[in-house]
Structure 1
Amino acid sequence: MSETKFKPVLGLWDATMIVAGSMIGSGIFIVGADIVRNVGSSGWLIGVWLITGFMTITAAVSYGELSGMFPKAGGQYVYLKESYNSLIAFLYGWSFFAVIQTGTIAAVGVAFSKFTAYLIPGVSEDLVLLDLGFLTISPAQVLSIATIVLLTYINSRGVEGGKAIQTTLTVTKLVSLFGLIIAGLIMMNPDVWSANWTNAWDLHKLNVDGSIETYTTIAAIGAIAAAMVGSIFSSDAWNNVTFIAGEIKNPQRNIGLALFLGTLIVTIIYVTANLMYTAVLPLNEIATAEKDRVAVAASHVIFGNIGTFIIAVMIMISTFGCNNGLILAGARVYYTMAKDGLFFKQAGQLNRFAVPQWALWFQCVLASLWCLSGKYGDLLDMVSFVVVLFYMLTIIGIFILRKQRPEAPRPYKAFGYPVLPLVYILMGLTFCTLLIVYKPKFTWPGLIITLIGIPIYYLAMQKKKQKD
């Protein structure tokens, strides 16, 4: 007989590992190259990560208030429904399924395959396994789909298996990253450091050929926004822990704490990792790293030829663990939507292991289709824009709920309210606006996919009324 309720088996440590593990994927090892090309200086490289870290921690501690008020499976979807209405919540759930979660799972899966190719050249993205004319499929794409299928299967057998993988791999990658950072700072080249930090705040475009282009003031702000696409993508998925509130012990306390601790740990790692890059690699080498693999170039300097393999193994562990957290948490949103009559009915059912098995496999299918696109950067741009849009709406929801439900119990209140949440909203609004102006190619598709949810919502509501 199927279980009818989620089992609260995850403690504060497990929840913190889900936050940190879901955040750290492949981004920290790769996106520094694109950031440096956009901003051209060490100061602004670190500045971009500090701005992103501030935004992430601010959003996370703001979500702490909402998680204390509504400790239910579905997290952000529930917060939006309570703050606004079921339409806004559905648009989030729809875009979460269509772009945010499945696109991120695909991007992380593709990154896993890219670095596996260092150890097993036969799974390279440059090889063609199948040519269908309109679509070529590489061994890397097949491998990324295989890992998603494997992790979906493990998580369909109960939350305990996913928890064990998450904790083990997250601890491994945290220790490995700290080890890499310490080794890099010990092996720092004083001449490289000095050259990189001379005129550290001179903001300009650094081309692959080493030439420099100056920005107008407006273009400079646009360049910072473009640079932040990578850092925001790398810092995303911290909110995944809110989706599994039904499986966390004492969620009113532990979710808020896990959000703060997890985002703080990851922000410290990200900032120090980039400081380490500037200690061992000249800026032009960061900008021109082969296929943007900055960590590989840095590790080669620190450890010699074996450095490439060290990083490859680290990223394989990192991305595998990251995808485990994403897959585990994502299906809980579709479960809650189904319970509201706004998603396929089967998604709202738990199997005998007390997990939404059908929702997990449905998520797996769409993420696998995204993998076939094979475009890490394209997915990154589409996801970052839509994600920040809904983060802003959710944080505005705190103001709405404070006004509409002043007496509602709030075990944890948003830190720095109203100043810090307002600062986040303004920064998010600036980021999204600049992205539409300077990177429209992949921001508009993400927005359009979200808006397609409007007619789907009204169709779902119509069907629901007919059933009622």
Structure 2
Amino acid sequence: MDMPVTPAVQRTVEAPRPVLHARAAFAIAIGIVVGAGIFRTPSLVAGAAATEAVFLGAWLVGGLLSIVGALCYAELASTYPQAGGDYTYLQRAFGPRTAFLYAWARLAVIQTGSIALLAYVAGDYLAQLVSIGPMSAPVYAAAAVVVLTAINWLGVKQGTSTQNWLTAIEVGGLVAIVLAGLLFAPDAPVAATPASSGDAYGLILVFVLLTYGGWSEAVYVSAEVRDAPRVMPRILVLSLTAIAVLYLLVNLAYLRVLGLGGIAASETVAADAMQAVFGAPGATAISALVVAAALTSANATLITGARSAYAVGRDFPALSMLGRWDAESGSPRNAVLVQGALALLLVGLGAFARDGFRTAVEYTAPVFWLFFLLVGISLFVLRARDPQAPRVFRVPLYPLLPLLFCATSAYLLYSSLAYTGLGALVGVAVLAVGGLLLVRLRPASP
């Protein structure tokens, strides 16, 4: 049984301060979602869909379900605007042990693995643009981790400024794909014949919601956003609405150029679409865009991941080094460095035994959806346990929308286990290691 919730002990004079404008949190939310996934998962979704209607409908359903989840998070973020995000909600609802397991999963699996994977995506495409030898991709990936870690170590202003620029480049590139596909598409798509004779709805949703994944990361900077209780609900809902519209238009452009079969057969769907429209220069341009997209998501993941590591270091004395907030930089510098070092280690291991995109999904998805489900349940628990907390924003149609969010998360947890193999077992095993650490770790006393 989890221990009772105990207030966090303030270990340092400094703590997060509300210095970020709403647009910075909006850029983080957009940047972390619109990453490398939209350039890869459409082919996997098309391979499991039998018709264009199912293919496009899946992106619409994914956007609507994500907005439902965002409404649930909006209540939690506006009620408890703290740097820990999900960690704070789980701690309040289920106690410090469950919260620690979540923080461990983020540090050991979800965040560092995502940073390394995104760095490799950038490295692979940079190696195609400018090769520096057989080890080009690992060298570029390692350099990306080092540079982004250094930028965020310098301070929150440097990290978010970088995020704003990268997000603008990324979104601009996707708009270019939409315009190219809708205005300059060939008379007939490359391959209209579907690759699948039946619809695998569970698998389709796993990949679609993976591509929408990351929107909840914005809550990790809620303690640093000005007037967070009022603006965080708008940031979460508006960012996902914009992303859903953009994803629908991008996938419609892919269909116009390549057709459902062409999308399914492509491993670089955006590059193939642009090459079909503009030739080799189009493919080169999109490769540069993928690099920007991967770096955008990696930078946003690094920003938010360091905040959850800071939160657990603040609450567990044995990990107090992570819980130090640097006043000069306005960031948890130690947490930034530890996270960067772990991601760099994973990049180094990937140079010798790299798993593919699908294996990365297997590794992270079950653990991710397990804790997403627990966060959904925590909304009900905290409504009952903490009814006096000022709730600036309340989920509309309560309890129907939170129940839908929990049911979706439970179904995706099942689907991620049903459609995966060894990768899922490794992720669960790493989570179990965190459980063993709890035997020695104790939360701070009141």
Q: TM-score normalised to the size of structure 2?
A: 0.91
Give the 3-state SS of the residue equivalent to 2:389 in structure 1: coil
Superposed displacement of residue 448, structure 1: 2.5
Superposed displacement of residue 59, structure 1: 1.0
Superposed displacement of residue 345, structure 1: 1.6
Matches within 5 A, 1:372-387: 372-373=349-350, 374-375=354-355, 376-387=357-368
Equivalent in the alignment of 2:329: 353
Q: Which amino acid aligns with 2:162?
A: I
Distance (Å, rounded) in 2 between the aligned partners of 1:437 and 1:349:
41
Superposed displacement of residue 333, structure 1: 0.8
Equivalent in the alignment of 1:134: none
Unaligned runs of 5+ in 2: 1-11
Deviations 1:230-286 (A, max 9, x none): 323322221222112221111111222111111111121112111110001032221
1:243 to 220, 230, 238: 220
2:247 to 270, 276, 279: 270
Deviations 1:118-156 (A, max 9, x none): 211336xxx3xxxxxxxxxx3212211211111111111
Distance (Å, rounded) in 2 between the aligned partners of 1:448 and 1:230:
23
Equivalent in the alignment of 2:3: none
Deviations 1:180-203 (A, max 9, x none): 20221112345439x84x9xxxxx
Equivalent pairs counted in the alignment come to 429
- Structure 2 contact 74–233 (Cα < 8 Å) conserved: yes
- Structure 2 contact 362–421 (Cα < 8 Å) conserved: no
Is 1:172 matched up with 2:169? Answer: yes
Superposed displacement of residue 117, structure 1: 2.1
- Structure 1 contact 334–343 (Cα < 8 Å) conserved: no
Is 1:50 matched up with 2:25? Answer: no
Equivalent in the alignment of 1:405: 386
Matches within 5 A, 1:326-365: 326-341=301-316, 344-351=319-326, 352-365=328-341
Equivalent in the alignment of 1:459: 440
Distance (Å, rounded) in 2 between the aligned partners of 1:412 and 1:334:
27
Equivalent in the alignment of 2:20: 10
Distance (Å, rounded) in 2 between the aligned partners of 1:163 and 1:33:
31
2:82 to 72, 76, 83: 72
Superposed displacement of residue 343, structure 1: 5.9
Q: Which amino acid aligns with 1:321?
A: T
Q: Which amino acid aligns with 1:83?
A: A
- Structure 1 contact 104–380 (Cα < 8 Å) conserved: no
Is 1:369 matched up with 2:345? Answer: yes
Q: TM-score normalised to the size of structure 1?
A: 0.87
Give the 3-state SS of the residue equivalent to 1:350 in structure 2: coil
Deviations 1:175-228 (A, max 9, x none): 2211220221112345439x84x9xxxxx8x3xxxxx5x55xxxx5xx332233
Q: Which amino acid aligns with 1:362?
A: V
Distance (Å, rounded) in 2 between the aligned partners of 1:453 and 1:429:
22
Equivalent in the alignment of 2:280: 305
Is 1:431 matched up with 2:412? Answer: yes
Give the 3-state SS of the residue equivalent to 1:439 in structure 2: coil
Distance (Å, rounded) in 1 between the aligned partners of 2:228 and 2:426:
36
- Structure 1 contact 59–391 (Cα < 8 Å) conserved: no
Equivalent in the alignment of 2:203: 226
Q: Which amino acid aligns with 1:35?
A: V
More divergent stretch after superposition (408-417 vs 106-115): 408-417
Equivalent in the alignment of 2:70: 60
Equivalent in the alignment of 2:123: 113
1:396 to 377, 386, 390: 377
Q: Which amino acid aligns with 1:98?
A: A
- Structure 2 contact 127–140 (Cα < 8 Å) conserved: no
- Structure 1 contact 192–282 (Cα < 8 Å) conserved: yes
Distance (Å, rounded) in 2 between the aligned partners of 1:60 and 1:77:
16
- Structure 1 contact 107–380 (Cα < 8 Å) conserved: no
C-alpha root-mean-square deviation of aligned residues, in Å? 2.1
Distance (Å, rounded) in 1 between the aligned partners of 2:288 and 2:143:
18
Distance (Å, rounded) in 2 between the aligned partners of 1:49 and 1:14:
26
Distance (Å, rounded) in 1 between the aligned partners of 2:116 and 2:187:
39
Superposed displacement of residue 440, structure 1: 2.7
Equivalent in the alignment of 1:86: 96
Superposed displacement of residue 342, structure 1: 6.2
Q: Which amino acid aligns with 1:304?
A: G
Matches within 5 A, 1:24-39: 24-39=34-49
Distance (Å, rounded) in 1 between the aligned partners of 2:119 and 2:318:
25
Specify whether residues 7 and 160 from structure 1 end up closer, same or farther in structure 2 by C-alpha distance, changes over 3 A only: same
Specify whether residues 40 and 113 from structure 1 end up closer, same or farther in structure 2 by C-alpha distance, changes over 3 A only: farther
- Structure 2 contact 25–221 (Cα < 8 Å) conserved: no
Superposed displacement of residue 64, structure 1: 0.5
